[in-house]
Amino acid sequence: MNIKHPYRHRLWWRKRLPWLLINIGFANKGKDCKSVGAKHRWYKIDDNASGCYYCKVIEEGQKWKIKKN
């Protein structure tokens, strides 16, 4: 079963809109992927923190390095 991420449209817009529009509130990130039953997709903020592409969650550790099985 292939369930699409509920915040996928926001990520699509965030990749295409100018930063000015994103910064004033268009295509804001979701609050938390887990609250809508979805998985985070991590990126590197720095060597000690990971952020989710889809939502505002930031967690300690290099979660972006963890490979999926």
pLDDT of residue 1: 39
* Per-residue pLDDT band at 3 (split at 50, 70, 90): low
pLDDT of residue 41: 92
Domain extent listing, the chain: 8-65
Q: What percentage of the chain exceeds 70 in pLDDT?
A: 91
pLDDT of residue 49: 96
As a whole number, mean pLDDT of residues 35-60 equals 94
- DSSP labels, 3-68: PPPTTHHHHHHHHHS-HHHHHTTTTPPBS-GGGGT----EEEEETTEEEESSBS-EEES-GGGPPP
